[in-house]
A = this chain, B = another copy of it.
């Protein structure tokens, strides 16, 4: 089997348990009525740094030897992984560098800086990012922690589903968003290790359906021109995550932009939860009844809550 072993996930959980929140599992009768199923929401929007990303980042940073960690860690990200890696590095007392496109919004820069991460700006192109990262790694000797193409990160993200199975009811379905595939890979590994019968569903915007197409075609399809409000879901699969999804995920289900926005609104109005668009994609699959699950138990991972508050 591809990716980290179940034993690696258990070790990851022991490693990070005392640092992260054990996020609550919530229910809503109104959401149940819309979905036709019994829904259980794992609230990673309430996780430290506002998303599940702190799980994988913390596991990676605390898996390193003293010597490796001492030179610091680095990544390319403008989003939740950048903030999470910065905090995990601060916990370990080592520097974190983040390569970010020069057009990254102020609010995302501040999130990284608030956790002590150091930003290196680059041209907002694939080439610009790669060159900036290479230069940074050479200069600092820092260890790269990729947002998802890393077994330590995947094992960390898997702990969300592990807690879900430990704290929740027996699930028939488990829904998680997919972008680069780190969370969904970890979810698949945990789910199939703990309950072979559960159906693992990846949730993706129609407007960024590269994971859907990749699993259909049997090879990785590029994520191009994706224009979705779920801006955290525009990455494309790595060979590592693609292999895990092929083994562990039952299917990918798509939702429209309108469905994502409506799901966010319902999470707000009916559950009083702030969830970012990328985090609401799995809720959209649930409440718009994308599968035949009448009366079944459906777990929904709400992956993050970092959305800017407008006046």
Contacts and interface: CB of A to CB of B under 8 A. Distances in A.
A271 B47 CA distance: 9
A24 B21 CA distance: 13
Interface string A254-274: 000000000001001101111
Interface in A44-74: 45-46, 50
Interface residues of A, number: 15
Stoichiometry, copies per complex: 2
A177 interface: no
A309 B46 CA distance: 20
A34 interface: no
Interface string A27-49: 00000000000000000011000
Contact of A272 (B26, B50, B265, B269): B50
B46 A272 contact: yes
Given A24-B24, A274-B274, A269 B309 contact: yes
Contacts of A45: 272
Nearest to A304: B272
A273 B23 CA distance: 13
B265 A309 contact: yes
Nearest to A310: B310
A274 B50 CA distance: 14
A268 B271 CA distance: 13
A272 B274 contact: yes
A307 to B, nearest CB: 9
A181 B275 CA distance: 33
Contacts of A274: 268, 272-274
A58 to B, nearest CB: 15
A277 interface: no
Interface in A13-28: 24, 26
B275 A272 contact: yes
A187 to B, nearest CB: 20
Contact of A46 (B26, B275, B305): B26
Interface of A: 24, 26, 45-46, 50, 265, 268-269, 271-275, 305, 309
17 contacts: A24-B24, A26-B46, A45-B272, A46-B271, A46-B272, A50-B272, A265-B309, A268-B274, A268-B309, A269-B309, A272-B273, A272-B274, A272-B275, A272-B305, A273-B273, A273-B274, A274-B274
